[in-house]
Structure 1
Amino acid sequence: MKSKSAIKRQHILKSATVFILENNFNKLTLDAVAKQAGISKGGLLYHFPNKEALLMGLTQYTFEEFTILTEAHAKEDPVEKGKWSRAYIEAVKWDLENNAALNVGIMAASTLDPKLSESMSHGYQHIQSKMEKDSIDSETVAIIRLAIDGLYYAELFNIAPLDEKSREKVIQQLINMTK
């Protein structure tokens, strides 16, 4: 059972996520998150003493949630070969359709803060290690991961991001590569 402090911390992170998705990552402030969470700024500062700590918490929370989603997809997949790669692709598909603003913001922030970048790297590495044991060749796993990174970066830098129909076709092709 989670402590009251852990529950409050998670509530703050969920509130920050909602704020980013409803507004804009660049509008994220401690005051805005406190208001979204329905707590005092002092209550927020108890858990996250500054914006950097909040961003680190958001990064970790986001990757934990993404890992849970990926693991759920893998658990539902009855075919062992390529299961983790497909789970990763399906989690990314959901993420791009629902949380892209949050993840794009975190990726942007990580370019300015090496600690955030390191935290993101650990999250990726966990899923990458599962994909590498997927009974598909390592080059295919690398192509899938790099293509997914490309989808995110196209969104991040607004460099010819794919429309929904094209993105769906790319994702389907990546899934086909896992079989």
Structure 2
Amino acid sequence: MDSKAELKRQLILDTAKQIILDHDFHALTLDAVAKQAGISKGGLLYHFPNKDALIKGLAAYIFEEVCVNFHKYAENDSNKKGKWTRAFIEASKHDLEHNAALNIGVFAASLLDPEVSKNISDGYQSILARLEQDGINPLTATIIRLALDGLYYSQMLHIAPLDKERQNEVIQQLVRMTREDS
């Protein structure tokens, strides 16, 4: 069971995430998070001494959610061949659908803080290592990874992002590639 402190930290991060999703990054203030979470500002400051620390914590939290979903999707895939690549596709799809507005913050936090960047990079390398040993052609796995990276970057940077229908078609094609590859 999580400790009270860990539960409060998670409440703060969930609240910060919701503020950004409901409004935008400009609405994220320590006062707004404390008020919406129903905690004192001092309680928030105990966990995150400033807004920068909160954003860094949020970046790590969001990436951790991707990793948890990655493992969950893999566990639920009965077809061993390509399951990690499909799990990566599904975890990315979920993240793009539910956390798109947050990903620019994760990106910014990782660029601005070498420790956050290293943690995210190490986690991503761990995912990519699974893809390389997934029983499908490693080149196919790499093409899928790069296509997913492209979906993230076009959406995050608003560079010709795909509409929801086309994005779903791309995701479906990527999944087919994991099943058809020999």
Asked if these proteins are the same fold (TM beyond 0.5), I'd say yes
Q: Which amino acid aligns with 1:158?
A: H
List aligned pairs for 1:64-103, cutoff 5 A: 64-103=64-103
**Cα distance in 1, alignment partners of residues 122 and 51 from structure 2:** 21
- Residues 55-106 of structure 1 show CA distances to partners (whole Å, capped at 9, x for unaligned) of 2211221122111111111111110011011011011112211111112322
**Cα distance in 2, alignment partners of residues 26 and 129 from structure 1:** 36
Instruction: Tell me the residue number matched to 1:25.
Output: 25
List aligned pairs for 1:88-127, cutoff 5 A: 88-127=88-127
| Deviation for aligned residue 1:25 | 2.0
Instruction: Tell me the residue number matched to 1:168.
Output: 168
| Deviation for aligned residue 1:30 | 1.5
- Structure 1 stretches of 5 or more lacking a match? none
Matched length: 179
**Cα distance in 1, alignment partners of residues 32 and 123 from structure 2:** 27
Identity of aligned residues (%): 58
- Structure 1 residues 76, 67: closer, same or farther in 2, change over 3 A? same
Q: Which amino acid aligns with 1:40?
A: S
| Deviation for aligned residue 1:109 | 3.4
| Deviation for aligned residue 1:31 | 1.6
| Deviation for aligned residue 1:169 | 1.1
Query: Contact 2:59 / 2:105 at 8 angstroms: preserved in 1?
Result: no
**Cα distance in 2, alignment partners of residues 121 and 26 from structure 1:** 27
Kindly report the root-mean-square deviation, in angstroms, between the aligned alpha carbons of the 2 structures.
Answer: 1.4
Query: Contact 2:110 / 2:117 at 8 angstroms: preserved in 1?
Result: yes
**Cα distance in 2, alignment partners of residues 32 and 146 from structure 1:** 37
| Deviation for aligned residue 1:117 | 2.2
Instruction: Tell me the residue number matched to 1:40.
Output: 40
- Residues 114-170 of structure 1 show CA distances to partners (whole Å, capped at 9, x for unaligned) of 333223212212221222220112221111111111101101110000001111111
Query: Contact 1:12 / 1:44 at 8 angstroms: preserved in 2?
Result: yes
Q: TM-score, normalised by structure 2?
A: 0.91
Query: Contact 1:19 / 1:28 at 8 angstroms: preserved in 2?
Result: yes
Query: Contact 1:86 / 1:175 at 8 angstroms: preserved in 2?
Result: yes
